[in-house]
Amino acid sequence: MIGLLCGLFCAYGTFQIAGSTPALVVTTGLLVLIVYNRILIGLFIGVGDNIPLHPVIRGALIGALLSLAMAIMSMIDTSLTDSFTVIAFGIVYGIIADVIATKFS
């Protein structure tokens, strides 16, 4: 559930940024990919609950690892700055999801 909420928030933010950045082309497929990626981050955080790491570190690692797959296309299509932004937001959403999941489980 946390992954879905993070995904919807991230997709909304991407759509808002696209309005002010003409170089960023936002398609329905990209928005679905963003939501799907954030749901996967939440799923993997739920599965990796038994990994003996601090929730911030575990969430950051899972978020970075799963966002790397989405960032590869940014590296190919646009620039490294865009791909680092995708990975950075994956880390942030991973940390948020893991801390919330750990606190309420």
Distance, CA of 2 to CA of 4 (rounded, Å) = 5
Number of domains in the chain: 1
**Range among 11-15, 84-88, 98-102 with highest mean pLDDT value:** 98-102
- Per-residue pLDDT band for 99 (boundaries 50, 70, 90) equals very high
Question: How far, rounded to the nearest angstrom, does the alpha carbon of residue 92 sit from its chain's CA centroid?
Answer: 7
Contact by Cβ (8 Å): 90, 37: yes
- Note the pLDDT tens digit of each residue in 24-61: 777 888 888 888 988 899 899 988 888 899 999 999 99
pLDDT at 5 over 80: yes
Predicted model pTM: 0.83
Range of the domain at 66: 2-104
